[in-house]
Structure 1
Amino acid sequence: MAKRQLELIPRNEKKERPAKKAASKPAIVRATPKTAAKRAAPKAAAAKPAPASKPIVRLTATDLAARQREISVSEFFTKNRHLLGFDSPAKALLTTVKEAVDNALDACEEAGILPDLVIVISEISETRYKVVVQDNGPGIVKAQIPRIFGQLLYGSKFHTLRQARGQQGIGISAAGMYGQLTTGKPIRIASHTGSKKPGHEYEIQIDTKRNQPVIVSERELDGNQPEPDKEKRAVQRAFDHGTRVELEIEATYKKGRHSVDGYIEQTAMANPHASVTYVAPDGERHEYARVAQELPKAPLEIKPHPHGVELGILLKMLHETKARNIVSFLHGEFSRVSAPVAEEIAKAAGLAVSMSPQKAAREQAESLYKAIQAAKLMAPQSNVLSPIGEELLLEGLKKQITADFYAATSRSPAVYRGNPFLVEAALAYGGGSLPGDELITMIRFANRVPLLYQQSACAITKSVIQTTWKTYGIQQSRGALPAAPMVVMVHIASVWVPFTSESKEAVASYPEIMKEIKLAIQDVGRKLGLYIRRGLREADAEKKRSYIEKYIPHIGIALQEILGIDDKRKEKVCATLKDTLERSRNND
């Protein structure tokens, strides 16, 4: 009966569940005037209508055109000063000193004067320093001082193909701009061109909108240059001619390989003909005496090589030349192009020999470009470079680094993109001053200027890593610098060093350059390998001799027992054996 009653209930009809027990009533909270106002506020806010969205303003081409502005090079580098090496306070101090020292050395060498430099860095506060660099160069004429120090991309080296430290005309004016941005103070320049002529002192700032110098003050100087720093009486120098540059910048001073101290030490190493006096911010004085009493061979200016000129540059040269015909243009504007060769190139390009270069169209310039690339021309002149030289490389290394073995080499000049360049390498190995369980120390130079940053991005470092050092008895992990008590120094000299950026901290990895670097390193590496193998042989032979010397007395005793000789005869036999051993040692 119970089953039938259950079947009468429809399947989709649920049974009523028993009601749950009533939950306990929550405590009553009485609303105060404040809480009532808070509760009412959201409701009131929700009741307000939503604000209407602002209509999107569409700009016309005229509106966009009105916003276009010309950007001066000073404005660009003001916002992108990291491109020039001013990306950190520590690096800013180094870059400032570097640019001033490079200019001083270039000026002295161009005038045929042995450089005598004074560098003083004074701490004003923890984040502010005054930099003073003084030289005994030819000085600067009055009219040129404002533009050299107060205008970016102004100089004498950009349009010439000649080995020099500076290239772009940016460095020292950029340092002045950095000081102006960080301290608000102008750069101060004092220059004398001779003892019988008055000197001139300027305070200059840069108008970054127009890239023009702004003269804050100027005055005429009588007598010799003012001293580098009145507080540093120990380094006072008076020159009849020369330039003194003073800047106040925001920076930090740190010791180490990548500091100003390391830069000046390496500069003295690569420029043994210069005398450098350096006073650090802590008052410590460093004297780097002149090692070479003669100036290096003066580099010569050359004309561009045709194989290194691109089509756009060729077209520009055609329109700007003063030559009257194509033959005189090729012969006069390029190196290694004689008149007969120029005539052959013109004919190969399908151009009339008497054609005016200024009237050349783009198609004609392209035909001429292809004919130039197909022509067989002599390599650029190689005697225009000024290397340091093997002897001075070794002297510089020995002066700064104590080691057991030194080697140096200077390669013959080579060419990349039509520009001649030359690679020199030197190394110092062993000695107690070099750590044996660390990676080797790299010292890189480009046109005698130390390169302290971006080591891993430099063609020099890549070439050293790609060299098989195990061949010369040096341990090396894959893809890393070798580990040994060794310093490797590489110098690249060229009429145009291909840096990876405007800050000139690393050399671009052109295949021709890397090939020459490897060959130079392999040359000194072979010399090192001979030294290491000879040392190993000598150590092995010495070990064997020590064993023999150890057992000579026992041999004497055995002979005495076998032959029945007396003690005097035994001592004589032992002495003869030792003498024979010593002679064999000397013969080895």
Structure 2
Amino acid sequence: MSATSVSAKKTKKSASSGKTSRGSSAEEMASRQREISVSEFFAKNRHLLGFDNPRKAMLTTVKEAVDNALDACEEAGILPDIYVEVLQLTETRFRITIRDNGPGIVRKQIENIFGKLLYGSKFHRLKMSRGQQGIGISAAGMYGLMTTGQPVVIITKVKRKSSHEVILKMDTSKNRADVVSETERPECDELFSSGSGTQVAIELEGKYLKGRQSIDEYLEQTAIANPHASIVYVNPTNERAEFPRGVDDLPPEPTEIKPHPKGIELGTLIQMLERTNSTQLGAFFKNEFCRVGPNVAKEICRRAELTDRTWIKQVEHRDAEKLYEAIQQVKIMSPPTNCLVPIGSKALLAGLLKEVEAEFFAASSRPPTVYRGNPFQIEVGIAYGGKLPGDELARVLRFANRVPLLYQQSACCSFKASIEASWKNYGLSQSRSSLPSGPLVIMIHMASVWVPFTSESKEAIADYDEIRKEIRLALQECGRKLGTYLRRKMKMKRESQRRDVFERYIGEIAKGCEAITGADAHSIYEALSERASSKTAEADQVLDDEGKVVDDGGRLAQDDGVIIRDLIGDGGGPMDSDGDLFGSSPMPSSGKKTVKKTVKKKRSRSTSRK
């Protein structure tokens, strides 16, 4: 029998049995198919949530717990006091404990918050908050369970009740928590001196290192963006770091808003039409969206060849498409911005002053604007000089809703906008397609009801043209303030040098004049000194008791977003070899931070007109 005939018989037999060429029938393949829970998916793809490696996993765990603590305290109207402890158990195993003074958690919600992915109160609310997806802290507990097998330990206390301890672990196949034990723990009440709060402890496999992209850097930047918070941190080497409160006022409470018509897509509009409780189109637009009044609703319906009295049940798919197209054509007011709570120039400067040792600080807040119907606001702060390294590229601190972004810098819209800015115009050196070089820190904050992150791990802001433009404009505002300061500083230095040269010879000139004319040398010396001071008045200064420049109505003097602090004797400012700021005065022997307080006298109007 030939090989061809044998092959034909096998093919015929396979076809008659209903099996594929690999031997699996449709029924067998169907029997192997099953639903995948979201926790199973993220357990296998934990890098999507920021658990790429042991070091980053520790940072992500601390970040998620601290973010939750700050959100809870602010929503309850409590100034946050947060305690973070990282205890090393073995070479690769750590226990991370975070405690806050928030309102606590009611018993029935503990399992859902810490043991269920995609469970939270913020996903469906258009309101500025740190958390968005309902994943973070439960994902941290899941990572700890996978790497060490140890459950999460939660101790929480609500006002006028005893502390409650719950030990749980996540069942990834069902995306729910299994409670190992729960106990009333009144002896733990002393952990919460304010009468309420929550403590969570997670044991996990990790790696602790200081420096960039570390827990230490995250907490330092969190203190800058949240000057109203007090943070105490104990690291694995038992070193204690305290970040005291910079301001005693809580940020205003953001207001929840409804979706804006310009920010929805066709599919979302169809779903809203199917689920609404309104019966007519006019009421639907007024009740489901913000900034849509009766006149705007009528105009949208008219352009879609419908009326505001059209019944929702009569709206078909093609009608929904017409409504969507009409929304894009009608001019609708931008969404309200009371859903945003920016840091503010004053608090931003307070945070930078507290953590960055520089001589010049400037801040700028852009007006709120919109991308895809979502309101957002950009704030920028810069710090220059002082103890900052002058031989390195500028350091960019990125924030979204007051949360530091430490990874994927090159993919972030904030970083790209920083490179695009022309820093050479403001007196800094900058190579092409790179950050400026010099003693400079750039802080960029985006506040929004929905920050467009590039991934679930929330490490970088997506590159929208509207966002990049606002960041660039804010950077330019701060850059102009810095340029004004640097130009004034160079002028002060030149005038001081001119005065020094003149004062070296003023005594000899006075003696020579006395010999020639017979006039009193002392009187000549005093007259020449007064003349030298008036001609080089820029060398006198220029800072008041608060460290703000005084320049008789100049731009910096009237700007609340600028603080100037000369660091005399500790490496701040362009000192000469003798330790003088501009070679004009002896350096203080204490070596401490001091502020020059010589205020320039204002000239009269009559003098200035001459």
Contact 1:226 1:238 in 2 (8 A): yes
If you compute each CA radius of gyration, which structure gives the higher value, 1 or 2?
Answer: 1
Aligned to 1:26: none
Q: Among residues 244, 248, 261, which one is paired with 2:216 in the alignment?
A: 261
Aligned to 2:303: 348
Q: CA deviation at 1:241?
A: 1.1
Q: Among residues 317, 323, 333, which one is paired with 1:368 in the alignment?
A: 323
Q: Among residues 79, 84, 104, which one is paired with 2:44 in the alignment?
A: 79
Q: Among residues 76, 94, 103, which one is paired with 1:111 in the alignment?
A: 76
Q: Secondary structure at the match of 1:218?
A: strand
Q: Among residues 169, 183, 186, which one is paired with 1:222 in the alignment?
A: 186
Aligned to 1:169: 134
- 1:215-272 Cα offsets, whole Å, 9 max, x none, are 1111223365464xxxxxxxxx534111111100100111113110111111111111
Amino acid across the alignment from 1:584:
K
Aligned to 2:488: 534
Q: State which drifts further: 497-506 or 198-207.
A: 198-207
226 and 98 in structure 1: CA distance in 2 versus 1, 3 angstrom threshold: farther
Q: Among residues 437, 455, 465, which one is paired with 2:391 in the alignment?
A: 437
498 and 225 in structure 1: CA distance in 2 versus 1, 3 angstrom threshold: farther
**Alignment map for 1:386-465 (pairs within 5 Å):** 386-431=341-386, 433-465=387-419
Q: State which drifts further: 61-70 or 499-508.
A: 61-70
476 and 171 in structure 1: CA distance in 2 versus 1, 3 angstrom threshold: same
Q: Among residues 242, 266, 282, which one is paired with 1:327 in the alignment?
A: 282
Instruction: Please state if 1:102 is matched with 2:67.
Output: yes
Aligned to 1:46: none
Distance 1:583 1:270 in 2: 44
Aligned to 2:565: none
Q: Among residues 226, 251, 255, which one is paired with 1:296 in the alignment?
A: 251
Q: CA deviation at 1:353?
A: 2.9
Q: Among residues 541, 545, 555, which one is paired with 2:499 in the alignment?
A: 545
Aligned to 1:514: 468
Distance 2:162 2:311 in 1: 49
Aligned to 1:564: 516
- 1:479-503 Cα offsets, whole Å, 9 max, x none, are 0010010111111111111111111
Amino acid across the alignment from 1:585:
T
Instruction: Please state if 1:505 is matched with 2:459.
Output: yes
Distance 1:569 1:239 in 2: 75
Instruction: Please state if 1:199 is matched with 2:174.
Output: no
Contact 2:103 2:197 in 1 (8 A): yes
- 1:464-517 Cα offsets, whole Å, 9 max, x none, are 100000000011100001001011111111111111111111111111111111
Sequence identity (%): 52
Q: What are the ranges of 5 or more consecutive residues in structure 2 without an aligned counterpart?
A: 1-13, 15-20, 540-610
* Number of residues of Structure 1 aligned to a counterpart in Structure 2: 521
Aligned to 1:490: 444
Q: Among residues 476, 487, 491, which one is paired with 2:430 in the alignment?
A: 476
Instruction: Please state if 1:579 is matched with 2:557.
Output: no
Q: What are the ranges of 5 or more consecutive residues in structure 1 without an aligned counterpart?
A: 1-54, 228-236
Aligned to 1:11: none
- 1:333-358 Cα offsets, whole Å, 9 max, x none, are 00000122112211211224333335
571 and 240 in structure 1: CA distance in 2 versus 1, 3 angstrom threshold: closer
Q: CA deviation at 1:554?
A: 4.8
Contact 1:320 1:358 in 2 (8 A): no
500 and 553 in structure 1: CA distance in 2 versus 1, 3 angstrom threshold: same
Amino acid across the alignment from 2:528:
L
Q: Secondary structure at the match of 1:316?
A: helix
Distance 2:313 2:399 in 1: 41
Contact 2:120 2:134 in 1 (8 A): yes
Aligned to 2:571: none
Q: Among residues 169, 184, 189, which one is paired with 2:149 in the alignment?
A: 184
Distance 2:104 2:493 in 1: 58
Q: Secondary structure at the match of 2:292?
A: coil
Contact 2:126 2:339 in 1 (8 A): no
Q: Secondary structure at the match of 2:411?
A: coil
Q: CA deviation at 1:280?
A: 1.0
Contact 2:298 2:307 in 1 (8 A): no
Q: Secondary structure at the match of 1:421?
A: strand
Q: CA deviation at 1:59?
A: 2.9
Contact 2:167 2:180 in 1 (8 A): yes
Amino acid across the alignment from 1:582:
S
Q: CA deviation at 1:308?
A: 0.5
Aligned to 1:523: 477
Q: Secondary structure at the match of 1:490?
A: strand
587 and 269 in structure 1: CA distance in 2 versus 1, 3 angstrom threshold: closer
Distance 2:82 2:538 in 1: 51
Contact 1:162 1:302 in 2 (8 A): yes
91 and 554 in structure 1: CA distance in 2 versus 1, 3 angstrom threshold: same
Q: CA deviation at 1:317?
A: 0.8
Q: CA deviation at 1:68?
A: 2.2
